Amino acid sequence: MFHDKAGYFFELFIGGLTKGSIYALIALGYTMVYGIIELINFAHGEIYMIGAFTALITAAALTAFGVTHPLVLVSVSGITAVVYASAYGYTLEKVAYKPLRNAPRLSPLISAIGMSIFLQNFVLLAQTSNYIPFPNLIPPLPFLEPVSHIMGTVDFIILCTTAVIMILLTFLIRKTRIGTAMRATAQDKTMARLLGIDVDRIISFTFITGSALAAVGGVMVGSKMGQINFYIGFIAGIKAFTAAVLGGIGSIPGAVLGGLILGWTESFGTGYLTSDYEDVFAFSLLVLILIFKPSGLLGRNTTPKV
């Protein structure tokens, strides 16, 4: 009996860890953009959805031409999704946000919501409102077979990918020239320009990076769930935004921590209580955190710049 309870707990733990890792990948895009230009990009979830659809279409095209090797399918589909989603993120910033950079705060927020609705309906009209089967692009790993009932191959890949991306992103921001430029831009755009930093290029790079991370999440979630539709970006985007706020919007470690906590909260809440209130558990936790620590778990209270 004890082993059954321990096994069930560990199963819920791994499930929450996997779900939280996906939230973290998408939340990183939110927190990077907010850290640079203090904008909540509500269309970010739709970029994640477009990445999943791009991988699906690419995999279907490759299969139609006789390409069936799993490593080729996942590599080409993943790279195509990242490139296409990054192009969408870049275009989104140039079209919907850059013209409103000096506008009142409400204007870019409304523009972000408008772009989210536009991209949802664009994919709805281009594809279908029904769920579409998504092939498992990730080949099974033999060494995981004994524990496949607790951690599948896709779960393992999701955890490893999130960990690697977190390390690389931290290195990029803290140890590279472009990372230094990003931090300078986030601190003071005017001074960054005076120092010769191309602020527009840094902002575009931030959108491209965040969109690429969202696309990676879309490909892995599609492989795990086995189906996608035009609405998956909205739900995942709201949850990832919640994770970013929970951990401290603007903090990269905070986005990861918030995603993991949110994933575990949903997993244990649905596992031990009821699945009917999965979203209630998540947003109740957010409310409690914001009541007692409004800046988020790893966020820092900032003073207005003068």
**Got the DSSP string for 5-57?**
HHHHHHHHHHHHHHHHHHHHHHHHHHHHHHHHH----TTHHHHHHHHHHHHHH
pLDDT score of 302: 54
| Mean pLDDT of successive 10-residue stretches along the chain, which has 306 residues | 72 90 90 85 91 94 88 91 94 91 85 92 90 84 76 87 89 90 89 90 92 91 89 88 86 88 91 82 83 80 49
pLDDT score of 42: 87
Residue 80 CA to residue 54 CA, distance in Å, equals 7
Judge contact between 188 and 305, C-beta under 8 A: yes
Sign for the CA dihedral angle at 102, 108, 110, 111 comes to: positive
Q: Please report how many Cα atoms fall inside a 13 Å half-sphere around the Cα of residue 271, on the Cβ side.
A: 18
| pTM for the model | 0.88
E strands along 64-212, which residues? 132-133
Q: Residue 149 has which token pair?
A: 């009932």
pLDDT score of 305: 45
200 dihedral zone (left: phi>0; alpha: psi -120 to 50; beta)? alpha
pLDDT score of 211: 93
pLDDT score of 166: 87
Q: What residues contact 77, with CB distance under 8 A and at least 6 apart?
A: 54, 55, 56, 58, 59, 62, 137, 219
Judge contact between 282 and 262, C-beta under 8 A: yes
pLDDT score of 3: 54
Three-state SS at 248: coil
Q: Per residue in 192-206, is it b (16+ CB within 10 Å) or e — as a string?
A: beeeebebeebbbbb
pLDDT score of 304: 46
pLDDT score of 306: 40
Strand partners, 164: none
Domain boundaries, the chain: 35-243
Three-state SS at 160: helix
The DSSP call for residue 136 is -
pLDDT score of 5: 76
Judge contact between 226 and 62, C-beta under 8 A: no
Query: What residue type is assigned to position 83 of the chain?
Result: V
